[in-house]
Amino acid sequence: MELRNRKKNSDGVTGGDDRELFSGYSKSGQVRSSRSIFLFCLAFRVVNALLIQTYFNPDEHWQSLEVAHRTVFGYGYLTWEWKRGIRSYLHPMLFAFLYKVLDLTGLDTPYIMSKAPRIMQSIFSAVGDLYLYKLSDALYGENVASWSLFCQMANWFLFFCLNRTFSNCLETVLTIMGLYYWPCIRDSSKAYPVNRKWGLFIAALACAIRPTSAIIWLYVGMLELFLTRNKVKFIILEVIPIGSLVLGLTCLLDRLMYGSWVIVPLNFLKFNFLSSGGDYYGTHPWHWYFTQGFLVMLFTFTPFSIAGMVKSKNQKLSVLILWVLALYSVLGHKEFRFVLPVLPIALIFSGYAFAQMEASGSSLSSTAKKKQVSRKNHIIKWSPKLRLSVFFLLATNIPMALYMSLVHQRGTETAMNYLSEEAYKGRVKSILFLMPCHSTPYYSTLHSNIPMRFLDCTPSEIKGELDESDRFLVDPLGFATELARNWSKPPSHIVLFASEETKLGDFMIQHSFKKVKRFFHAHFKVDRDLQSSVVVYAIED
């Protein structure tokens, strides 16, 4: 691919003449290039998925895999969100399909059940990586695309989070795919054609999977409406039909699964925006995304992303990032993964900054200075500044990615994998979790239809009333003693954090429970006390 005769388009974004930029770049060559890039990304993401052995947020299991497991195998726990109809079945059905295949083939063993969902997600992630490359290439050229892909692979938070089974992760993939097809985001070209109808369909799908994705697509849609010539055609013949089709199919699926008509986006809007229901799980100051959240996700890429925004002068994508961060800042409850869809966009700007450093530090041979020379004749020499920057990013992001994926908060996952193997061998009859609600995976990992009990934390209709999880943390011994009075038969196993173990020592002895396993969990506290390890007790015969 030749990258010469660069020009500036009407938006002030550095682009390239279509005839020059894609000179000698055949369709078959593009297909081969896309295939090789995808296979590389897929191999990387599969390894990435297998390395993830830690617990991040309950929704990874409880709002996707648990629902899918219940759908296919007939047992699993539905949280209160599903009883109020604020979640769509569209995302869990992807994993229900996976579980059905494993069920029919007899491959639903404990190990495969724990690994398969993240491997499936790794396929989606690889598609997102490919489209990030294609979007960067269409915007700025092949060199920026290569650097953007490097930044995507090297970023610690994407390594840690993108292969998890959150709806936010699929939303992120769909966001990158959708932006690639929107005319308002980039210029059309023969090698990388835009297709607004595809962009609309993907945007509608992202909103169906996660209604808050509308924050992104409202911005993109308004920008397209402003720039397009035929505004009536855009709204009447494209937005309304495609949006109605996706919404209708999603409502039909939810009607089938819920057993009644449920308009999930409306219920979601009422709970999270109109009633601030999400605040029940904690709030952060309005500036949290700008001063902590998004900066932690970008980590050491932050200065490069800012430099790329300034140098590229791409106001459309820069404003998109600021728009998303600003609107999410209005909500009291904030989480890292809520703004995950705009993280790859910020990394495109990092790729642009690196490409600029490479260009300023490269030297050309005398023959390469001729006008018609191809890129393969360029003699690229990385400047000390570029080498130091790459080393700095790898030295900071790789240890962070590995620590968060392999070490931090791994105890709850390891304990459930252990219990799954024990239950598979018939050694576990029932389990009680004396720990904050949703601290571990559940039936989707255990994959045995045995009684299990965890401490409920459904939001109360009475303001200020403590749920089971909070009552236990206030008085672990008193709560456990009261619970034991109502046992018709004690559980065969109890799981708890080390921070509560010392408070329940006498209780365990009194009820004939013996410690059988201890699993390391974390070096430092996250929400409450330090939860250094997860302890499994079993009742003595």
Give 226-266 as a DSSP string. HH-S-HHIIIIIIIHHHHHHHHHHHHHHHHHHHSS---HHH
Sign for the CA dihedral angle at 66, 67, 72, 73 comes to positive
pLDDT tier at 269, thresholds 50, 70, 90: confident
The pLDDT assigned to 379 comes to 53
Q: What is the pLDDT of residues 147-163, one digit of tens each?
A: 999 999 999 999 999 99
Query: Of 180-189, 277-286, 389-398, 410-419, which range is least confident?
Result: 277-286
Phi-psi region of 54 (alpha: psi -120 to 50; beta: other; left: phi over 0): beta
The pLDDT assigned to 373 comes to 43
Alpha-carbon torsion, ordered 274, 527, 211, 261, to 10 deg: -80
CA–CA gap between residue 236 and residue 218 (Å, rounded): 16
Q: How far is CA 275 from CA 216, 283, 466, in A?
A: 22, 14, 19
The pLDDT assigned to 6 comes to 37
The pLDDT assigned to 31 comes to 57
Residue pair 163/87 in contact (Cβ under 8 Å)? The answer is no
Query: Is residue 18 scored above 70 in pLDDT?
Result: no
Query: Is residue 10 scored above 70 in pLDDT?
Result: no
pLDDT tier at 3, thresholds 50, 70, 90: very low
CA–CA gap between residue 348 and residue 324 (Å, rounded): 16
The pLDDT assigned to 293 comes to 95
Element (H, E) at 434: strand 431-434
Q: How far is CA 218 from CA 211, 214, 215, 315, 390, in A?
A: 12, 6, 5, 16, 36
The pLDDT assigned to 526 comes to 79
CA–CA gap between residue 42 and residue 63 (Å, rounded): 25
Query: Is residue 461 scored above 90 in pLDDT?
Result: no
The pLDDT assigned to 381 comes to 76
The pLDDT assigned to 324 comes to 97
Element (H, E) at 464: none
Q: What is the pLDDT of residues 74-100, one digit of tens each?
A: 999 999 999 889 999 999 999 999 999
pLDDT tier at 538, thresholds 50, 70, 90: very high
Average pLDDT over residues 54-62: 96
CA–CA gap between residue 138 and residue 175 (Å, rounded): 16
Higher pLDDT, 317 or 9: 317
pLDDT tier at 380, thresholds 50, 70, 90: low
- Please indicate, yes or no, whether the overall pTM of this predicted structure exceeds 0.75: yes
Query: Is residue 5 scored above 50 in pLDDT?
Result: no
Query: Is residue 360 scored above 90 in pLDDT?
Result: no
Q: How far is CA 137 from CA 131, 141, 460, in A?
A: 9, 4, 51
Q: Exposed, middle or buried by CB within 10 Å (0-12, 13-18, 19+), for 220?
A: buried
Residue pair 415/536 in contact (Cβ under 8 Å)? The answer is yes
Sign for the CA dihedral angle at 518, 520, 523, 527 comes to negative
CA–CA gap between residue 188 and residue 192 (Å, rounded): 7
- The mean pLDDT value of the chain amounts to 89
The pLDDT assigned to 25 comes to 40
Query: Is residue 481 scored above 80 in pLDDT?
Result: yes
Q: How far is CA 391 from CA 161, 386, 388, 494, in A?
A: 23, 9, 5, 46
Residue pair 187/9 in contact (Cβ under 8 Å)? The answer is yes
Element (H, E) at 27: helix 27-51
Pull the structure tokens for residue 202: 């993907």
The pLDDT assigned to 332 comes to 87
pLDDT tier at 325, thresholds 50, 70, 90: very high
CA–CA gap between residue 67 and residue 86 (Å, rounded): 14
Q: How far is CA 252 from CA 240, 261, 425, in A?
A: 18, 8, 40
Closest to 152 (Cα-Cα) out of 133, 169, 165: 133
Average pLDDT over residues 270-299: 83
The pLDDT assigned to 21 comes to 31
* DSSP 8-state code for residue 427: -
pLDDT tier at 129, thresholds 50, 70, 90: very high
Query: Is residue 366 scored above 80 in pLDDT?
Result: no
Q: Which residue bears the tokens 């894609």?
A: 22
Total Cβ atoms within 10 A of residue 526: 11
Query: Is residue 296 scored above 80 in pLDDT?
Result: yes
Residue pair 208/250 in contact (Cβ under 8 Å)? The answer is yes
CA–CA gap between residue 172 and residue 496 (Å, rounded): 34
Q: Exposed, middle or buried by CB within 10 Å (0-12, 13-18, 19+), for 332?
A: middle
Query: Is residue 463 scored above 80 in pLDDT?
Result: no
Q: How far is CA 392 from CA 156, 303, 397, in A?
A: 13, 12, 8
Q: Which residue bears the tokens 């938006």?
A: 11
Total Cβ atoms within 10 A of residue 270: 14
Phi-psi region of 433 (alpha: psi -120 to 50; beta: other; left: phi over 0): beta
CA–CA gap between residue 154 and residue 301 (Å, rounded): 10
Pull the structure tokens for residue 66: 């648990």
Q: For residue 1, give the 3-state DSSP assignment.
A: coil
SS3 readout for 271-336: HHHHCCHHHHHCCCCCCHHHHHHHHHHHHHHHHHHHHHHHHHCCHHHHHHHHHHHHHHHHCCCCCH
The pLDDT assigned to 1 comes to 35
Q: What is the pLDDT of residues 162-212, one digit of tens each?
A: 999 999 999 999 999 999 999 999 876 666 778 999 999 999 999 999 999
- Who contacts 61 (Cβ-Cβ below 8 Å, separation ≥6)? 165, 441, 442, 444, 445
Query: Is residue 73 scored above 70 in pLDDT?
Result: yes
Q: Provide the pairing of β-strand 452-454 with 14-16.
A: unpaired
